[in-house]
Structure 1
Amino acid sequence: MPLLKQVSCSGLFLVLLLGGEVLAQTSKSEPDVQPGRVCNPSSWSRPEPRTEAERKERERWTAYWERLQSYLIQLPKDPDTLLAMPVYGARVRQVANTFGTTRSGWRTHEGQDIFAPKGTPVYSATSGFVWRIGEGQLGGLYVFVVGPGGRRYYYAHLERYAPGLKEGQKVTTRTLLGYVGNTGNARTTPPHLHFGVYSGRRRTCDYRVIDPLPLLVDRDWQRFTLNPARGR
């Protein structure tokens, strides 16, 4: 009988411990940043800003999402089924598939790395609009382009941006976005473009990280046209 009580108490303690952990996990929320990995219901709301910096950050993100909606109205509803190779001179067959591989800090690789000499031109893989231009700890200098179907294309680790590039600018597959580099957390690696594709939002629970490699096709770099039959 004492043993049974001991087991029961141990079981109760385990339930309480696990329940506390689950509660702690579900009560946590992440800022609505991009990229992201957690689905938050649309009813979730962030706490009110406590500082001027937090207020400006809230306003900045609100403006980005409002602009995104204005772009979507002008874009086709169906996403592209083919993506033009963004790195000048590169071929699809040269891309080693690293999508989903583990990274530091419990992360996975949310894209494909396309290696090329520093300063190699990077072009938009789709038509669309420049949604965001910025700099982050991981991605370094980056550009986000929103294309048909609302998919967002992430060009990271750039050495520099194309001259005159600006948010809201309309782009085609001939538009220069920047140049290959190794900024951000790629500073100890050979220069390359990290190319990622995203759709949906965590707050509406339809967020997806999409592997760009199956969609990429080679270009005829003299004519800047797609060459789907090459490099496969």
Structure 2
Amino acid sequence: MKKLFPVIFLFFFLPFHTVEAKELSQKEIYDKRMQLYKKTEAATSVPWYYIAAIDQFERSIRYVRKDLPKPDDITGYYVSPENWVGPLNPDIKDTNPITITFFNGLGLDGNGDGKVNRTNGEDLLYTLANYLSQYGVNDRAFRIAVWEYYKRDQNVRSIMTNAKIYRKFNRIDLDEKAFPVPKGNNHTYKNTWGDRRGWGGRRIHEGTDIFAGYGTPVRAVAFGVVELKGWNKYGGWRVGIRDLNNTYHYYAHLNGFSKNLKIGDIVSPGQIIGSVGSSGYGPPGTSGKFPPHLHFGMYKDNGLNEWPFDPYPHLKLWEREERSK
């Protein structure tokens, strides 16, 4: 038994990344990620959904930023080598907690192995949670901590969106998608991305038009939070929803909204948010200037700015997947 004990002890304290993420299934990745969030919560008393919210935000922006390395499949939170070890630290690969603290580096030892490793998920998220804990563990304190870290309002909104969704569903495997129009409703659409617009001056079409009859239900395509609801002269009655990948989904020319839908609401894939109409191209209430259809747009935010991209390939994919079920 004396010979066996050191082996068991060593196995228990093996670093989190001893199993390469590329060898895991998506379910296993989610399980490992959630275990890491929960372990960090237990060590710091910072709710796991706050930690997960920032980790997921960082993951989403790293996939679309050229100035940041792509994330691994387990953690998304990123700290530059200079900030991790300290700006004046001569050893950019330093893992010694004493010298890193001396040079005011951010990195902390989260797994108790005596090293501060910037590629170790436990060290990364422990460092993040330690920062958050200095502000408090409620929504107001978390919002302030996020603002102080990113200094951008949209980043705060995006991260709060993630936290709200994770807290409500108490899980992170929330990848389900839905086509905006339910099966059984006649509709048609083609790729109209970049086409010239016929009203409101020189503009291009930033989305896909899905033509369907008045009153056809319009559904949320992903888990998200309602950021916008109301009228504008171009889109008529419209709704904007941001998802966990920091993608903004724009639904325009609606005939009306679902009862009780309001800004700040959490929605799920397939949830009805309104109905197809022909509103827009004028003051509030203008309708009928074009055939009824849903204008569906998608916008990506990378933590610095936001831009539209073609939703057509995504719509085709979601439609195929729904038909195959």
Asked whether the two chains share a fold, i.e. TM above 0.5, the reply is yes
My pick for the range that moved more, 65-74 or 155-164, is 65-74
Q: What residue is the counterpart of 1:52 in the other structure?
A: none
Give the Cα separation in 1 of the matches to 2:215 and 2:237: 13
> Retained in 2: the 8 A contact 1:113–1:193?
yes
Q: What residue is the counterpart of 2:288 in the other structure?
A: 187
Q: Deviations over 1:76-106 (max 9, x none)?
A: 8x9x988521023378993111111111422
> Retained in 2: the 8 A contact 1:141–1:159?
yes
Amino acid at match of 1:88: P
Change (3 A) 1:96 1:188: same
Decide which of 162, 165, 171 is 2:261's aligned counterpart: 165
Give the Cα separation in 2 of the matches to 1:218 and 1:69: 25
Identical columns (%): 32
Root mean square deviation of aligned Cα: 3.3
Q: What residue is the counterpart of 2:250 in the other structure?
A: 154
Larger radius of gyration between Structure 1 and Structure 2: 2
* Structure with the largest fraction of strand: 1
* Structure with the largest fraction of helix: 2
- Counterpart check, 1:84 vs 2:174: no
Tell me the CA shift for residue 210 of structure 1: 1.4
Show the 5 A alignment for 1:50-129: 66-74=156-164, 83-89=177-183, 94-104=188-198, 105-129=201-225
> Retained in 2: the 8 A contact 1:128–1:146?
yes
Tell me the CA shift for residue 167 of structure 1: 1.1
Give the Cα separation in 1 of the matches to 2:197 and 2:279: 17
Gaps of 5+ in 2: 1-151, 167-171, 282-286
SS in 2 for 1:85: coil
Tell me the CA shift for residue 75 of structure 1: 5.7
Q: Deviations over 1:149-203 (max 9, x none)?
A: 11100000001100111111111113110010000027311100000000127x9
Show the 5 A alignment for 1:203-214: 204=304, 206-214=305-313
> Retained in 2: the 8 A contact 1:146–1:152?
yes
Normalised TM-score (structure 2): 0.43
Amino acid at match of 2:234: L
Gaps of 5+ in 1: 1-61, 221-225
Normalised TM-score (structure 1): 0.59
Q: What residue is the counterpart of 1:174 in the other structure?
A: 270
Give the Cα separation in 1 of the matches to 2:293 and 2:323: 23
Tell me the CA shift for residue 119 of structure 1: 0.5
Amino acid at match of 1:87: V
Give the Cα separation in 2 of the matches to 1:110 and 1:171: 23
Give the Cα separation in 1 of the matches to 2:290 and 2:301: 31
More contact order relative to length (CA 8 Å, sep ≥ 6): 1
> Retained in 1: the 8 A contact 2:213–2:292?
yes
Change (3 A) 1:131 1:154: same
The alignment of Structure 1 onto Structure 2 pairs a total of residues equal to 160
> Retained in 1: the 8 A contact 2:250–2:298?
yes
Amino acid at match of 2:272: L
SS in 2 for 1:149: coil
Q: Deviations over 1:49-100 (max 9, x none)?
A: xxxxxxxxxxxxx988754441144568x9x988521023378993111111
Q: Deviations over 1:90-134 (max 9, x none)?
A: 789931111111114221000000011100110101111111111
